[in-house]
Amino acid sequence: MESDDDYYEDDIDPDDYDDGHNFDNEDVEVDEGYLGESSVDARISSYNPDLGDDDPYPYECLSADKVVGLMNEIIREVNDIVNIPSTTLRILLAHFNWDKELLLEKYYEYEGNQERIFAEAHVISPLKSKSLARRKSGRSIEQACEICCNNYSSSFMTGLDCGHSFCKGCWSQYLCTKIIDEGMSQTISCPEFECDIIVDDAVVMNLITDQKVCRKYQHLITNSFVMCNPLLKWCPAPDCHHVIKVEYRDKRPVKCECGREFCFDCGESWHDPVLCMHLRKWLKKCDDDSETSHWISANTKECPKCQVTIEKDGGCNHMVCRNQACKHEFCWVCLGPWDPHGASWYNCNRYNAEEAKKARDLQESSREMLQRYLFYCNRYMNHLQSLKFEHKLYARIKRKMEEMQQLNMSWIEVQFLKRAVDVLCQCRQTLMYTYVFAFFLKRNNQSIIFEGNQADVEKATELLSEYLERDVTTASLGEIKQKVQDKYRYCDSRRNVLLRHVHEGYDKDWWEYIETS
Amino acid sequence: MSSIATTRIQRELKDIKESNNQSIKIELKSDEFNNLRGEIVGPSGTPYQDGMYKLSIKIPETYPFNPPIVSFDTRIWHPNISSVTGAICLDILKDQWAAALTLRTVLLSLQALLSAAEPDDPQDAVVAKQYKDNQKAFVKTARFWAQYYANAPGPRDTDCVEKLRKASEMGFYKDISLQALSTHSWDLENAIQYLTSC
Ligand SMILES: [Zn+2]
Ligand SMILES: [Zn+2]
Ligand SMILES: [Zn+2]
Ligand SMILES: [Zn+2]
Ligand SMILES: [Zn+2]
Ligand SMILES: [Zn+2]
């Protein structure tokens, strides 16, 4: 198989090893020590050579601690200009959605009447709170806590600058309820009826002893800071507490230190070539239709010949019935026989409009819409499912690589296998989103070219997948290496052709979209 | 139940007893502190005057950091209280609750609510509409309900008694007939039509 595009040199830079998928997928761990380095070192940028995209997109990956540092930096900056205690400032900034310019603007606009800014943010003005000194007299008389109705010595009673005081036990339970049950952080007010003075972070940290609650509180504060800031976004990977910071907002891929690559604009996995808007519509549709399409995502299907249930546990679509008496070979996606899939005339990727027309004559058009949707959904789900198995493939290939190294191949020499799996996963990801793109696409001359490109990648990807899953043995290593490299290079180049064509279409307004309900 | 909640409730019950306010009452339903029964007397100068309104009060685990769940057991015709379920729309039972508030303040607030309805924040849309569009029918209905359900003293409106009797004679349950007549501002024909259609 030859590519009509330039190969690029991919033999093998050891530094390359970690920039793709993490090999030991089971233990992706983030090394805190690394994050401690200066932010300049942590600065990375995405540059996608595939797309001839030559303006790099600069961004940083920040740990939660760094985000806290960023917050404190802003507080310090404002504090240098206006002298307000940092606890109060934090509440003021939160009130202005962390827009320090807006805060300063208002602060000077209200010059002479700055009480107003504090009142609006529900804090007692630090300018006058001294006169209102907290009720902490030397008298050691007992005071009744209005919440628990017990009497305590005044040293056990505490409160905010509004002067309402409660016992420390009640305070801490009150704060726990607000933080843990209601997820509140910088909007918790004094427990007194009709008192809206906000509890500052120093008071919270003083009164809460439970570390779990403290962490939750800090996380909530950090979270509201990130949510307010259009240049920050949480990594969407579950349990990943990293934040990506960009210099300007764009629909571009960013990659977290945990390995998750996502679209900065919409936060979904990086979804080239489909637009954020279409992806959002699509995901919503999948959600709404989850009942109809549920069967599609199921991991089992019946052999079209003998009806034995077959479970899919790898990414390859070339299925061989496990019933020894049948051994029927078929395509997981279309359930058609596998044979023609290798032939050039066979299209498993394109929804056949001729067929659809026939169907339309027989059935309602809404039914056709559903079928159309199911058609694309089926192909989308198929790649999604295969991607979920990618760690299995990585593990298997890793074992293969170890075997090969025992047969006197060097570490560097066997890296082609990992590279092949990387390309396979990239292709599946791209294909998956091209079906979303195609779902919204109106048929025209360019869309036919697109479908041709898509079919090419689809076919090449399945060939590569199949080869990796069953044909890689340790026999005749040199030959295998050549074959694998040929296959993945072809896949990669066809993928680039496919993507470039869609991007060109965006630039030149080729694409027309169907109306969807 | 948390210890704060228990001590709070014990203390509150004691305070209410000592306050000697005859118009509000709270007592335990059983030995459990999470299930109380309240009672308020309808305030004078209102259609609810001298009615006895029973309330069900459920104390959440997290009391007093979260509000008690209060509803009317006695049926009442009021824009902010569901005439069907007894659910109450009152800000201090929702987002305006504060840990420093007590059941006593809740009951007093409910009395205040009976004195001054807030038809723009209704719980019962039918009642609220009547309250705004037809004050006369509203007062008549609320008073009749107070007498019928809450044992408010005084002679009952003969028109109401008569129409309710007619509807019941046609075989409809009294509660349902009363609801239908009230909803249709005592237009017997409309009420019967409504009753037969459902
Ligand atoms: Zn207390
Ligand atoms: Zn206060
Ligand atoms: Zn991450
Ligand atoms: Zn996006
Ligand atoms: Zn079979
Ligand atoms: Zn197929």
**Residue A54 confidence (pLDDT):** 55
Q: Where are the domains of chain A?
A: 4-55+365-508, 67-126, 290-364
Residue that wins the pLDDT comparison between B80 and A43? B80
Q: What is the DSSP letter of A219?
A: H
Q: What is the structure's pLDDT at A170?
A: 92
Amino acid B179: pLDDT: 93
Contacts of B68 (CB under 8 A, 6+ apart): B57, B58, B59, B60, B93, B103, B106
Q: Does residue B93 lie within any of the structural domains?
A: yes
Q: How would residue A31 be classed by pLDDT, with cut points 50, 70 and 90?
A: very low
Selected for mutation to probe chain A from B6, B11, B15, B65 (highest A CB count within 10 Å) is: B65
Quote the CA–CA distance of A426 and A383 in Å, as a whole number: 11
Residue A8's pLDDT is 41
| CA of A180 vs chain B CAs: smallest distance (Å) | 12
Same domain, B37 and B98: yes
Sole residue written with tokens 């008298």: A139
Token digits of residue A421: 């799996």
Around Cβ A430, how many Cβ atoms within 10 Å? 27
Residues B129 and B97 in one domain: no
- Residue ending a domain, among B115, B134, B169, is B115
Q: Are A234 and A201 in contact (CB under 8 A)?
A: no
Q: In this structure, are B33 and B97 located in the same domain? A: yes
Identify whether residues B93 and B22 lie together within a single domain. yes
Q: Are residues B109 and B11 in the same domain?
A: yes
The number of domains in chain B is 2
User: Which residues of A are part of the catalytic machinery?
Assistant: 316
Assigned domain for B120 exists:
no
* Pick from A175-189, A254-268, A369-383: least confident: A369-383
Using the mean position of ligand 2's atoms as its centre, give its distance from the Cα of residue A145 in Å.
13
Q: Is the pLDDT of residue A128 over 60?
A: yes
Ligand 4 centroid to Cα of residue A248, in Å, is 15
pTM for the full predicted model: 0.62
Reduced to 3 states (helix: H, G, I; strand: E, B; else coil), residue A186 is coil
Label residue B61 exposed, middle or buried (CB < 10 Å: 0-12, 13-18, 19+). exposed
B107 lies in the same domain as B9: yes
Q: Is 90 exceeded by the pLDDT of residue A493?
A: yes
Question: What pLDDT digit, counting tens, does each position of A467-482 carry?
Answer: 887 766 656 777 888 8
What pLDDT score was predicted for residue A129?
57
- Evaluate the CA torsion angle A404, A405, A407, A409 in order and state its sign: positive
Helices (H), A17-63: 32-35, 39-42
| Model pLDDT, residue B92 | 87
More confident residue, A15 or A396: A396
pLDDT at A357: 52
Cis peptide before B64 (omega within 30 of 0): yes
* Chain B contacts in chain A segment 174-213 (CB below 8 A): 174, 177-178, 181, 191-195
pLDDT value of position A25: 39
Does residue B93 share a domain with residue B184? no
State pLDDT tens for residues A315-325.
Answer: 556 677 777 67
pLDDT value of residue A346: 52
DSSP state of B92: G
Pairwise CB contact (< 8 Å): B62 & A150: no
Cβ atoms of residues B124 and B79 within 8 Å: yes
Per-residue H/E/C for A37-87: CCHHHHEEEECCHHHCCCCCEEEEEECHHHHHHHHHHHHHHHHHHCCCCHH
Confidence class for position A304, pLDDT limits 50, 70, 90: confident
CB contact under 8 A, B99 and A181: no
Residues B174, B142 share a domain: yes
A71-85, A233-247, A334-348, A424-438, range with the lowest pLDDT: A334-348
Residues B134 and B66 in one domain: no
Q: Before A191, cis peptide (omega within 30)? A: no
Span from the CA of A457 to the centroid of ligand 6 (angstroms): 13
Residue B151 to chain A, least CA–CA distance (Å):
34
HEC string for A275-297: CHHHHHHHHHHHHHCHHHHHHHH
What pLDDT digit, counting tens, does each position of A93-119 carry? 988 888 888 998 988 888 888 888 899
In terms of pLDDT, which residue wins out, A16 or A129?
Answer: A129
**Whether residue B159 is found in the same domain as residue B190:** yes
**Among all residues of chain A, which has the CA nearest to that of B3?**
A148
Measured CA to CA, the distance from residue A135 to residue A433 in angstroms comes to: 63
Q: Write the CATH number for B90.
A: 3.10.110.10
Across the range A300-323, mean pLDDT stands at 67
B157 shares a domain with B139: yes
Domain containing residue B141:
125-197
Query: What are residue A159's DSSP bridge partners?
Result: A165
**pLDDT of A35 above 80:** no
Burial class (CB in 10 A: 0-12, 13-18, 19+), A391: middle
The confidence score (pLDDT) of residue A290 equals 55
Higher pLDDT, residue A303 or A20: A303
Which residues share a beta bridge with B25?
B39
State residue B144's pLDDT score. 96
Topology of the domain covering A4-55+365-508: Four Helix Bundle (Hemerythrin (Met), subunit A) (1.20.120)
Helices A290-297 and A276-288 sit at what angle, rounded to 10 degrees?
90
Which residue, of B115, B141, B167, is where some domain finishes?
A: B115
Instruction: Count the neighbouring beta carbons within 10 Å of the beta carbon of residue A31.
Output: 8
- Take residue A108 and report the two structure tokens written for it: 């000077």
Q: Tokens 């609006």 — which residue?
A: A120
Q: Which of A150, A173, A195 sits opposite B65 (nearest CB)?
A: A173
DSSP for B175-194 reads HHHHHHHHHTTT-HHHHHHH
Place A330 in a pLDDT band, splitting at 50, 70 and 90: confident
Q: Which ligand is nearest to the CA of A459?
A: 6
Rounded average pLDDT over A211-233: 90
Is B57 inside any structural domain?
yes
Q: Average pLDDT over chain A, rounded to whole?
A: 78
Q: What percent of chain A has pLDDT over 90?
A: 32
Residue numbers in A near B18 (CB within 8 A): none
Within 13 Å, how many C-alpha atoms sit on residue A405's CB side? 13
Query: Is A164–B62 a contact, with Cβ atoms under 8 angstroms apart?
Result: no
Q: How far is B23 from chain A (nearest CA, A)?
A: 23
Extended beta strands in A361-486, E state: none
Handedness of CA A275, A276, A282, A283 (dihedral sign): positive
- The domain boundary, picked from B115, B149, B166, lies at B115
Rounded CA separation B157/B141 (Å): 9
State the average pLDDT over residues A355-364: 49
Domain check: are B19 and B106 in the same one?
A: yes
Q: Which amino acid, A245? A: K
pLDDT the model gives residue A397: 87
Which segments in chain B show pLDDT lower than 50?
Answer: none
Strands (E), A312-392: 318-320, 329-331
Min distance B68 CA to chain A CA atoms (Å): 14
- The residue-averaged pLDDT of A27-35 equals 35
Question: With 80 as the cut, is the pLDDT of residue A42 above it?
Answer: no
